[in-house]
Amino acid sequence: MRPRIVTLTLNPAVDMACMATAVKPTHKIRTFDERVDPGGGGINVARVAQVLGGEVHALILTGGATGRMLEELLDAAGLPWQGLPIRGRTRISLNVHDRQSGLEYRFVPEGPHVEEQEWRGALDLLRRVDAEWIVASGSLPRGVPADFYGQAAGIATGRGQKFVLDTSGAALRTAIGHGIALLKCSLGELEFLIGRELRDRPAQEREVAALIRSGAAGMIAISLGREGALLATREGITRLAAIAVQERSTVGAGDSFLAGLVVGLAQGMSDQEALALAVAAGTAAVGSYGTAQVHRDDIDALYRQLRATAASGA
């Protein structure tokens, strides 16, 4: 079966999550309700896209004993994947929820150093992979040049594939304008690109529209947290309000949002329908414990709620 959506994760992680009664300095913190998930931007996108019925395949860089652990977690999750071996060890991230304060603490290592032949191997694989959508999501590990995603976008675009990107910093700035079909940013990442704060709605929409006109990307989606999200295309801007839920974890919420958006667009949904599916998936992730732990029934219920609200004009 041909995968419709292939994801690329250059800096994946074994995501460990746990609860603690209280997090205090110098104390031995006893934890409970531990869980371990396969993590990293593209992996999270693939997992949620699969929940939504998408045909997915995850490409990852993986190394060391922790890399083998990640591979076991992917197998246990039933996610089709292909690993590109590296000499370095896959990183382990730790997310601790402090019951006393209600705060979540996220400890995210920078990850392994990737050698030139290893990251070039990822580009070579992209020249052969069979897919309609290529979703590159996550940070670049050490050793990978900042223009890697720009090179990847050029490869995908040259093969007639739709390239989707969700990253930050220099990797984001150097990739825009290289044929990206869909760019997903947080508000902070958008402000990084523009070089100033965009706190009001008109400013956000004005600057996103300007990026579209400049050729930065064919479509740009901005996740705005409690303010909802917007999707900009050459035809205009679609905006949806958020749904209030009890927040349990933000880990993988942005990736879940992107998965919903890509699946919706791949299935031929309208911009508003695809954005509603994206917001529903992201909201479901926020309301769940662990990394991008979503259930189809929850997403479907949230999607229906968003569509009903939009139809009523509320």
Residue carrying the six token digits 């292939």: 6
- Beta carbons within 10 angstroms of residue 201's beta carbon: 12
Residue carrying the six token digits 């919903």: 260
Radius of gyration in angstroms for the set of CA atoms belonging to the chain, rounded to a whole number: 19
Token reading at 39:
């993590």
Catalytic residue of the set 255, 271, 297, 300: 255
- Between the alpha carbon of residue 270 and those of residues 45, 133, 228, the distances in Å are 20, 17, 18
- Beta carbons within 10 angstroms of residue 22's beta carbon: 11
CB 193 within 8 A of CB 172: yes
75 a catalytic residue: no
Angle ∠(217,13,278) on CA atoms, nearest 5: 40
Residues annotated as part of the active site: 255
